[in-house]
Structure 1
Amino acid sequence: MNLLKSTALAGFALCIATTARAEDLTFTLENATSQDIEMLQISTVASSSWEEDILGNDVQPAGTNATITIADGQSVCEYDILITFADNTTIEDHNVNLCDLGTYTAHE
């Protein structure tokens, strides 16, 4: 009986862990540059194209922080990031573990 109970509890714990990883991913984007961020595109590493601009019509001013939420229902942590600035320069960063990072800083 104890083995059955332990197996059931282990299965329940696994379900909880899996569910927790599928929640929205939130991190801080720090713009440590002298340019406004006009576009922020984030795609899973497995994707062959960039997702839509997360900022939409908004911009993130130079020297500010913003809370970014990725509500894609994915249970992954590694993403590719493409940032486009007001002067049309870009930063492209690959295989960024946003689950562990907490804050992603854009530098010049």
Structure 2
Amino acid sequence: MRRAMWRASSKDLTMKTNALRLASAIALGLSAFALPMTEASALDRRVEIVNRTGYTMVEFYASNQDRTTWEEDILGASVLPSGRSVVIDIDDASGYCMFDFKAVFDDGDEVEEFGVNVCEVATFTFE
């Protein structure tokens, strides 16, 4: 009975070793571009905003803690009814993780929460 066998010649092994070294060097070179990126800038800032207040949220603001004013209304023309949620990417390209939140409801009530770490918090609930 014959078997098909493949034996690597020293030339084949050298070529494969060189290809592996090249691939490793490319991967290492590409990872160097990622090094200047700070750890905070690589973090996920998507937060699920949950409304359990019994009132419709008509405005929502999130501003990094370095801001002295509220950014634009993230909901825009949309609203967030009670019992519903929305996932919002809080990333403002500043690299910040600490944000202040402000929600305005259809009864005129406003709720502010300061110092929310959006790099660690996945869900934020208004109750």
TM-score bracket, shorter-length normalisation: 0.7 to 0.9
Q: Tell whether the 8 Å contact from 1:24 to 1:73 is kept in structure 2 after alignment.
A: no
Partner of 2:89: 69
Distance in 2 between residues matched to 1:69 and 1:14, nearest whole Å? 23
1:59 aligns with 2:70: no
Alpha-carbon shift at residue 49 of structure 1 (Å): 0.3
Counterpart secondary structure, 2:80 = coil
Structure 1 counterpart of 2:122, from 95, 102, 106: 102
Distance in 1 between residues matched to 2:116 and 2:90, nearest whole Å? 14
Q: How does 1:1-108 map to 2 (within 5 A)?
A: 12=32, 14-16=35-37, 18=38, 21=41, 25-107=45-127
Counterpart secondary structure, 1:101 = coil
Alpha-carbon shift at residue 69 of structure 1 (Å): 1.5
Alpha-carbon shift at residue 15 of structure 1 (Å): 2.6
TM-score for both structures, normalised by structure 1: 0.79
TM-score for both structures, normalised by structure 2: 0.68
Counterpart secondary structure, 2:36 = helix
Structure 1: 5+ residue runs without aligned partners?
1-7
Structure with bigger RCO (C-alpha 8 Å, 6+ apart): 1
RMSD of the alignment, in Å?
Answer: 2.5
Larger Rg, first or second structure (1 or 2): 2
Structure 2: 5+ residue runs without aligned partners?
1-27
Q: Which runs of 4+ in 1 moved over 6 A?
A: none
Question: If each structure's strand is expressed as a fraction of its own residues, which one has the higher value?
Answer: 1
Percent identity over the alignment is 33
| Letter of the 1:91 counterpart | V
Q: Tell whether the 8 Å contact from 1:24 to 1:72 is kept in structure 2 after alignment.
A: no
Q: How many residues align?
A: 99
Q: Tell whether the 8 Å contact from 1:23 to 1:71 is kept in structure 2 after alignment.
A: no
